[in-house]
Structure 1
């Protein structure tokens, strides 16, 4: 470096004290989803839900083409928000009120905006929790999905303090009346072999539990590639040199990748759960790292008739992601202690969602 060199600072992202209640953020880099994106997503997750795999199947169900998997849409929308919201995050903590409004197809373009709806400084004075409501729209200005999430973010100045926390009220369950049946979706012509002759909605009852048997081991290259696919540039997922100075010394696997792996694993048993309509809530209970093997167990919470349809029902499911263990070897998965849910150290995900399932 010479005396003539002038080094400019690059954007460092927002720290906790930079966020203001009601602040609106218009996120950069709109994203057009391609067939390549869809193929890579399948390669990275192994998802087999037939509606997202074959044009003949999608057309038989009333679509003009293959709809993009709603979780891929969610992760891409999430990725748009990272540069403004969670570039300096310690961890993304959870989700609520995730609602899928409009099907997305390849060549659709997503743009995302967010509003800060809550702020809470943590007792250690080093971090705080930021709550946001994000909305993704397509090129026709239609709302594709909306979601709320909360993330733990580092403070820049440890001497500044927030006097009054604001914690938003979040719905435990997205009302069924708000959940959307995609226009023209019709499962009357569905063939049994499309989804491997699996159980239909009418064959489930609340309380049924399915352990989905298969496991997927997290590879460094695959979880990194998945996170790049969503253009999520949070440093904790990529910068090993930075993570060398943490207590684990490892890069964190993006929690969204764990969600997609659990959804893919759940095909074995829930293959007729064709359309993800809402995520009521989600918690990343413990971190995951490369080398961990992820398993999934699901519990049926509710089966209900939906919009007076006789070809599909609305099924609410709780799925738990488990690393390096199986439920039969665990004393408990979660328990309530002093009014708080505490998870076994091997439970990495607790997600509560609804799907439209064949009857």
Structure 2
């Protein structure tokens, strides 16, 4: 088996059949409210304490896996508790780079590449330097990049410090259904677009294409009678699906050959996407310029010219969606939408219509 790495966090193995296989081995430490100091576990993991101001969430607006952590942090109102470092959209094989900041170094950690935080803890770290990652600010070393647990932990473990009115995005009564659906979405949609884009044989691509569209057709049907994926309000299930849907027409349709049709041509999914996009925390954390630059410039095996397309027209994302007629509401009674985006965290490259909607 030959192995290659896409250091955007899309570590992949090219199997003998040409199928894309994601490397899902991560630093699976966790930050828990139940511990007072770092505790080494028998399985080698470390559990870290919840301490405001101790950690920095390292992310990139281009990355769908990081995007879900940015959305969750914003909805929970943890901006003053866990700071946010943002890498630029393009990089080489060594790792994400903080080239959007003055001097091309992260202003808190003082590092140029995210790789430095990984090597600070694991000098011979052998796998992809991925976002999202949480870094201990004092030691400048990575704590975890295990995005499957990182995002639910932002909902569960930091509740003492979340904003007043923060929604519960992972209700106990819905967890079994959320877990089942998000597992399906990860395999068939979040990862499904990559199986299409990085397939290296026709058969592998054809199979990936069929699986992806079977899943999208299922979600189209599911969302034709309900406003959100699980229950009556936004949950982690919606946060996990959104980053793939919002990137679909701009990137995956053409770049990854997921081109049966666009999301804007699927009535239920298109209305659902517009509904989420217009909710604070979603559209106001989405940077299409950085998203397109990342995929079209970094993936030289897919796009060797590195030409970034100007289209498509995405202004329709702020048009009326009419999803209110299905019932439900973005947040449960007693919960509220987050306030304005903090000054230093505003999306740099908002579309004119996007800016008018959120800041006008």
**Greater helix content:** 2
Q: TM-score range by the shorter chain?
A: under 0.3
Greater Rg over alpha carbons, structure: 1
State the TM-score, normalizing by the size of structure 1: 0.25
**Greater strand content:** 1
State the TM-score, normalizing by the size of structure 2: 0.24
